[in-house]
């Protein structure tokens, strides 16, 4: 059964939705903002409810279960949704709180309240991989969702299926699970432990494996980590 009344109209409808989502994904969801500042639970919900990937870096745009949405509305209203998208996304634009040596602190608001996070880029990455996007590591507070110090890694490439990621704070190793080009710790206890070690350390290395089988190592500085963490904690208290 055609969603929009005819196969030609349906094709045009899907094309419009995809173009809209791609446009706003590029504008709003660029790493490390948006997708990677959301909580692990919210990302999983987005994947289940939508399942459409619009960005090459693995960002998933939630469109409130697209299939059911299009079945209940005409394509013209879908296009109206795209037109109104700037008003929705403008509310989530991150604001720079402060910079602390090699780390920066940000804040924005979503439907659950304030979100505060800090981010840093690697000082060194090896080997060079053609087409690799920017790599980041983030630490996020979401008080409205009772989430504190959630650590997320953004590889800038798709991780190899079935692989894992190792993060070494100095010489202490933490194992992260993967989803697309992101990696996270499995428990809150591990996150709090790793954050405590990062406050005491000076170097962090993240080792992962790409879909092509390349093992990469990203080396981060932890200088400024404690001050940046203090800034996001104060902003979201």
The full DSSP string for 11-32 is HHHHHHHHHHHHHHHHHH--TT
Is the residue at 1 inside a domain?
Answer: no
Q: Which domain holds residue 84?
A: 7-90
Pair 226, 175 in one domain:
yes
Decide: 230 and 202 in contact? Cβ < 8 Å: no
Residue 107: inside a domain, yes or no?
yes
Establish if 72 belongs to a structural domain.
Answer: yes
Residue at 20 is within a domain: yes
Averaged pLDDT, 161-175? 97
Sequence-separated (6 or more) residues with CB below 8 Å from residue 188: 148
Give yes or no for residue 19 having a pLDDT over 80: no
For the sheet containing 203-209, what is the strand order?
95-100, 103-110, 113-120, 136-142, 147-154, 182-184, 172-179, 165-169, 203-209, 215-221, 124-126
pLDDT tens-digit map of 57-99: 333 333 333 333 333 333 444 444 444 444 344 446 889 999 9
Q: What is the pLDDT of residue 93?
A: 80
147 and 216 share one domain: yes
Residues 209-234: what's their mean pLDDT? 98
Output the pLDDT for position 110: 83
- The reported pLDDT for the residue numbered 8 is 56
Q: Which of 90, 112, 136 is the last residue of a domain?
A: 90
Residue at 222 is within a domain: yes
Q: For residue 2, is it within any domain?
A: no
Which of 39, 63, 90 marks a domain boundary?
A: 90
In a shared domain, residues 126 and 211: yes
Contacts of 149 (CB under 8 A, 6+ apart): 139, 140, 141, 191, 192, 195, 229
Contact (CB, 8 A) for 232 and 116: yes
């Amino acid at each position: 059964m055609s969603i929009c009344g005819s196969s030609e109209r349906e094709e045009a409808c899907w094309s419009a939705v995809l173009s809209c989502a791609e446009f706003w994904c590029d504008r709003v969801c660029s790493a490390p903002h948006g997708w990677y500042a959301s909580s692990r639970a919210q990302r999983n919900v987005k994947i289940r409810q939508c399942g459409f990937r619009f960005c090459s870096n693995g960002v998933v745009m939630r469109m409130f279960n697209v299939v059911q949405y299009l079945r209940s509305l005409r394509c013209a209203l879908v296009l109206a949704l795209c037109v109104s998208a700037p008003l929705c996304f403008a509310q989530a634009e991150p604001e720079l709180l402060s910079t602390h040596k090699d780390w920066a602190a940000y804040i924005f608001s979503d439907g659950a309240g304030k979100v505060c996070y800090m981010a840093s880029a690697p000082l060194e990455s090896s080997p060079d991989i053609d087409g690799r996007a920017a790599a980041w590591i983030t630490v996020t507070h979401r008080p409205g969702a009772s989430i504190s110090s959630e650590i997320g890694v953004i590889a800038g490439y798709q991780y190899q299926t079935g692989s894992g990621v190792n993060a070494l704070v100095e010489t202490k190793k933490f194992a992260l699970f993967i989803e697309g080009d992101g990696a996270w710790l499995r428990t809150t206890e591990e996150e709090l432990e790793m954050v405590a070690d990062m406050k005491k350390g000076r170097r962090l290395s993240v080792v992962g494996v790409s879909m092509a089988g390349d093992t990469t190592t990203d080396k981060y500085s932890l200088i400024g980590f404690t001050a940046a963490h203090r800034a996001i904690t104060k902003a979201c208290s």
